[in-house]
Each structure stands twice: as structure tokens, then as C-alpha cells.
Amino acid sequence: MSEQPISVPKGDEKEKSLAEEGAKKLKPCCACPETKRARDQCIIENGEENCTSLIQDHLTCMRKLGFNI
């Protein structure tokens, strides 16, 4: 059996492939639990209009994992 070298993506390519892989394994409801929890708690206590930064943080996290939202 001959072994073939494994190509390892570097930099942005590696992050992109990890994000794509993460999105395939994760469901949107289970991704970014920390930012989701903070966002939801803020919305319950303060209303959506007062939590825009936490909402944006959660959207950014989801996008980094490869979700198209």
C-alpha cells in the first residue's frame, strides 16, 4: 500500500473548510450556544430593539460556522 501525502489547507482555506465541515455537522439550533443564550436572555429581559449588538454577535458566530443567514 502506498501512502499519498495529505494536503492540509492553510490560513483562510483551512478556516473555510472547517466552517463548511462544521455547518454540515451542526444544526443551526445547536450552533453558537454562548452567543445564542446571551442574545435570548437579553431579548427576554430588555426587548429585541435593545439587544442589537448581541444579535449581531450571534449572527457573526453562525456565519463563521458556515451558516448562510
55 neighbors 39 (Cβ within 8 angstroms):
yes
Cα–Cα distance, 22 to 36 (Å, whole number)? 17
Is 38 within 8 Å of 54 (Cβ atoms)? yes
Ligand-binding site membership of 30 (annotated): yes
61 appears as a binding residue in the annotation? no
Annotated binding site: 29-30
Annotated binding site for Cu cation: 29-30
